[in-house]
Amino acid sequence: MEEIMNILIAILVLGIIIFIHELGHFLTAKFFKMPVSEFSIGMGPQVYSYETMKTTYSFRAIPLGGFVNIEGMEVGSEVEDGFNSKPPLARFIVLFAGVFMNFLLAFILIFSMIYSHGKYIQNKEAVIGNVLPESRGSKVIFPKDKILKIDGVDIKEWNDIGKVLTGKDPKLPIQVELERDGKIENINLELTEEPETKRYIVGILPEYTIEKYGAGEAAKVSLLSFEKIFSDTLGGLKLIISGKVKSEEISGPIGIIKVVGDASKEGVGILIWLTALLSVNVGILNLMPLPALDGGRILFVILELIGIKVNKKFEERLHTAGMLILFAFIFYITANDIFNLTR
């Protein structure tokens, strides 16, 4: 049952990202009065459709992908107000709108998380905010305790704790003077060995307070976070193109469903951040100047804008070939996902 729920959540997340992308194409096509025969979420045979005089809205059997069928994109099409009959700038806006909506969705999600959660400000003094329950000191030190001295050395701020402990024999207990409820306490404290790292730790975390952002400040921080995600995604894409990433490390639709399903177990916050990350990824991938992708079509429109005419039949053949290559690549990474899951 849990696996089914994870799959449903993943499909919902991917569905929202794809819906927003296609909505960008749809709204701008309608704005420029281009005829849109179908707005579909999913691929394959129709499961449900709602028809209006101008557009059919449909859900299809395979809940991954989607499309907006803008009429007049075919070579030699004579559809009134069709895509190819519009000025290059209008076509550029329609093609870029899907990517823009993906980036906008990511920014809105990031902003909502930052604005609602605020920023964590650490107490400069050595006040304990939390004690790891598995640590040896969990029975003698508690949150809100303020550390004053360790082995007779004054502790003025949190960073002093690490400085004082550096170079000491971790197997010997330390003497801690602390303030608790206005009273001075002296305790002997044994350090705890971490099983994985073999390091010895006190097992305490500093006290934090949460300060809410104003809308303007939250927008600035959100923009910086968006830029970081954007640059990291470009960096990852560069590694893939240069062959520095192994094929088994590349995830396709099934791999993404697993990642989203795992993230949903960690809570809504992690899932929202991952949705923003995936939305940026979808935007950047669609912006790549490859045939069949938005970026490939945008490239030809830009050439037209600067006065370079490309034969429409040649362009159409290029996009058709690109689509076949794209489907082959999707098949490959899907097979790769299945192989990785069965290893």
Residues annotated catalytic, as ranges = 22
Token duo for residue 86: 């519009």
Residue with tokens 């959100």: 222
- Is residue 181 within 8 Å of 143, Cβ to Cβ? no
Measured distance CA(294)–CA(251) in Å, rounded? 21
- Is residue 126 within 8 Å of 155, Cβ to Cβ? yes
Torsion angles phi and psi, residue 70, rounded to 5: -90, 120
For residue 332, the Cα-to-chain-centroid distance in whole angstroms is 23
Measured distance CA(273)–CA(143) in Å, rounded? 30
Q: SS3 for 211-243, per residue?
A: ECCCHHHHHHHHHHHHHHHHHHHHHHHHHHHCC
Three-state SS at 202:
coil
Measured distance CA(121)–CA(221) in Å, rounded? 15
From the number of C-beta atoms within 10 Å of its C-beta (0-12, 13-18, 19+), residue 149 rates as: middle
* Nearest of 83, 81, 82, 105 to residue 95 by alpha carbon: 83
Token duo for residue 251: 């995830």
Token duo for residue 209: 């307070």
